[in-house]
Amino acid sequence: MTYDEARSLTQKILASAKAGEVELRLELARSAHLRFARNAATTSGATQQTTASVTAWKGKRKASVSATIGLAEGGAEAALKKLVAEAEELAALSPEDPEYLPLLGPQSYLEVKAYDRATAELPAAARARAAGDALRLSRRRNVMAAGFFQNRGVVHVLANSAGLFAYFPISSAFFSVTARTPDGAGSGYAAVSSVAMQNLDCREAAAIAARKALESRGARELAPGDYPTILEPQALADLFPSFQFFFNARSADEGRSVFSALGGKTRIGEKIFDSRVNLYTDPQNSTVPAASFGEDGYRSDRAYLARNGILENLAHSRYWASRKGRPPGPFLVNLIMDGEGKSLAEMIASTERGVLLTHLWYIRAVDPQQGLVTGLTRDGTFYIEGGKIMHPIKNFRFNESLVRVLAQIDSLGTPQRVTGIERGNYPMLLPALKVKSFRFTSISDAV
């Protein structure tokens, strides 16, 4: 759906609304994927799906309905009008919303280029070629590969009865592969993603996974405890989404977060992290371009959570921002952390005794008051001594806090585009990170 078609359709629908305010969201998604395992193709699928969401207000009463709708033969218009009517009907039954805010009027948005048509419409044969390269390499290296290749094209549309209209197309190609040695003693993981398929080197990813699988065989036990630890960008990407929830302003103001201070205050403005910590969102970053609008169609902008180690801001919803007299946001459409250009080899060389983490798994919040999470290492964990990787070690469970990780930085690498394993396509640009201490609490026998 083009910009003009989306504008025309949404205007027509909004004009049909009976009374009160209406917000309309469309997500037009085209997606295809191929999976493989045990060095062979397994399943694949393709779908085109449009999801429409309508929120209607009757005064301060609000309700939302959403549905997948068909676009063929003019079906969209009738389906959307029906949704508007349903939302209006439900809104009338709802109690008044004490957090009601009037809809935003027209906004001006940053220009973000994030759509590559060839990637969104990639044919099945191209996915098969990419996977085939990885499978052949894996067979040659005598590892068993399991992986996933997905290409997507999504057009996000948001329009409301106050005249706001936002349109944002984005594409993505994502390839990930886990290589395991046939004896089950070694495992390695690698993933690559981009807005454009042409930037992906799936064969190289398969080679990295195979190398890690072979190098991680014969893992020995290292006693749990605190160790200087290097997190590859993938490991940091696995960890960060679980930290993201702690950056909520309302939770902090309500005394329910690691960023809460006594007396109903927050720690905004405090130097909490290492001085090199710059953590921000930037929709226009060319490696991780992201939506030009956030909640309710509010413009998304480059904005810091932490700068030079100081907690600069927490994510404020529109309502909470109005309560606190602050501008809404930052809307975390992506997440970027600056690096300092250290190579992984330099980080290893400067480590007298420590641990290298390549991939993390099943990370869950344990105590929001401490920013504490638990999780496990997987797919290659290594022991470093005297500036060299000595041998693979068995996986660890860790219990570690956001504040400790970002306060005890030793050195930072060069940021790379990475995707956390448990958080879908949330784009991040993160460096490798060496911390002075990371707390491992028990050993896992999993490979």
Q: Which residues of 211-244 are buried (b: 16+ CB within 10 A; e: fewer)?
A: bbbbbbbebeebeeeebbbbbbbbbbbbbbbbbb
Distance CA 328, CA 101 (A): 12
Smallest gap from residue 390 Cβ to other proteins (A): 23
Residue 300 in contact with residue 331, Cβ under 8 Å?
A: yes
Q: Which residues of 328-363 are buried (b: 16+ CB within 10 A; e: fewer)?
A: bbbbbbbbbbbbeebebeebbebbeebbbbbbbbeb
Residue choice 1, 103, 128, 344 for contact with other proteins (CB under 8 A): 128
Nearer to other proteins, 94 or 244 (CB): 94
Question: Is residue 375 near other proteins by the rule CB under 8 A?
Answer: yes
Question: Is residue 124 near other proteins by the rule CB under 8 A?
Answer: yes
Nearer to other proteins, 16 or 48 (CB): 48
Question: Is residue 427 near other proteins by the rule CB under 8 A?
Answer: no
Site stretch for other proteins (CB under 8 A), options 107-115, 145-153, 162-170, 326-334: 145-153
Nearer to other proteins, 51 or 287 (CB): 51
Question: Is residue 15 near other proteins by the rule CB under 8 A?
Answer: no
Residue choice 11, 20, 64, 199 for contact with other proteins (CB under 8 A): 64
Q: Which 191-220 positions form the footprint of other proteins (CB under 8 A)?
A: none
Distance CA 302, CA 332 (A): 9
Can you give the length of the chain in residues? 447
Report the candidate in 220, 143, 151 with the shortest Cα–Cα distance to residue 177.
143
Question: Is residue 85 near other proteins by the rule CB under 8 A?
Answer: no
Smallest gap from residue 345 Cβ to other proteins (A): 27
**Helices and strands in the chain: count of H runs, count of E runs:** 10, 23
Smallest gap from residue 262 Cβ to other proteins (A): 5
Residue choice 33, 217, 267, 323 for contact with other proteins (CB under 8 A): 33
Question: Is residue 78 near other proteins by the rule CB under 8 A?
Answer: no
Give the DSSP H/E element, type plus range, for residue 33. Answer: strand 22-37
Report the candidate in 82, 88, 66 with the shortest Cα–Cα distance to residue 21.
88
Tokens coding 204: 């190289």
Nearer to other proteins, 68 or 308 (CB): 68
Q: How far apart are the first and last CA of the chain?
A: 46
Residue choice 47, 218, 325, 352 for contact with other proteins (CB under 8 A): 47
Question: Is residue 44 near other proteins by the rule CB under 8 A?
Answer: yes
Question: Is residue 42 near other proteins by the rule CB under 8 A?
Answer: yes
Residue choice 77, 81, 85, 97 for contact with other proteins (CB under 8 A): 97
Nearer to other proteins, 204 or 346 (CB): 204
Question: Is residue 304 near other proteins by the rule CB under 8 A?
Answer: no
Q: What 3-state class would DSSP assign to 413?
A: coil
**The pairing of beta strand 22-37 with beta strand 144-160:** antiparallel
Report the candidate in 202, 180, 181 with the shortest Cα–Cα distance to residue 191.
202
Site size for other proteins (CB under 8 A): 102
Question: Is residue 357 near other proteins by the rule CB under 8 A?
Answer: no
Smallest gap from residue 428 Cβ to other proteins (A): 18
Distance CA 369, CA 246 (A): 9
Question: Is residue 185 near other proteins by the rule CB under 8 A?
Answer: no
Distance CA 89, CA 441 (A): 54
Q: Which 237-266 positions form the footprint of other proteins (CB under 8 A)?
A: 254-256, 260-262, 264
Residue choice 39, 107, 199, 350 for contact with other proteins (CB under 8 A): 39
Question: Is residue 271 near other proteins by the rule CB under 8 A?
Answer: no
Nearer to other proteins, 280 or 398 (CB): 398
What are the residues whose beta carbons fall under 8 Å from the beta carbon of 325, sequence distance 6 or more?
A: none
